[in-house]
Amino acid sequence: MNNPIQPIKFDDDGVARFKENAIVRVLLDTGKLDLNDIACMKFSQTDRDQFNQLIGYSVSGYGDLSNVSEESVTVADKQVEALILQAASIEYDPNFGDECLCK
């Protein structure tokens, strides 16, 4: 994997998604090429991996694509797992106290 992986964030619906690149999105949405045209062109594997990240694919959808490398899918999945664990550790603080706030 030669290109860096795009940052991953959770959207408003809780879906892990690659951070979309606004320039790439505008080029795709307003240009003469669509995803099918691009799929038929010859590009390197790393460029295909990065392109699919730059358009803001969900990480789960990215893993289902036939034109991305297993290595990039594994890296992205591990990043999502780390984000989930990080969020869980923020939500649960074992040092908060033993008091029950329920009445």
Q: What is the pLDDT of residue 74?
A: 94
Q: Is 2 domain-assigned?
A: no
Question: Is 99 contained in some domain?
Answer: no
The answer as to whether 41 is a domain residue is: yes
Question: What's the whole-number mean pLDDT along residues 82-96?
Answer: 74
Q: Would residue 47 count as lying in a domain?
A: yes
Residue 22 lies in a domain: yes
Total domains in the chain come to 1
Instruction: Give the pLDDT confidence score for residue 103 in this predicted structure.
Output: 44
Stated length of the chain: 103
More confident residue, 98 or 59: 59
29 part of a folded domain: yes
Tell whether 101 is covered by a domain.
Answer: no
Name the pLDDT band for 87 (thresholds 50, 70, 90): confident
Residue 88, H or E segment: helix 70-91
Which residue type sits at 26?
Answer: V
Residue numbers of the domain that contains 80: 8-91
pLDDT in tens, 3-58: 789 999 999 999 999 999 999 989 888 888 888 898 899 999 999 999 999 999 99
pLDDT for residue 89 is more than 70:
yes
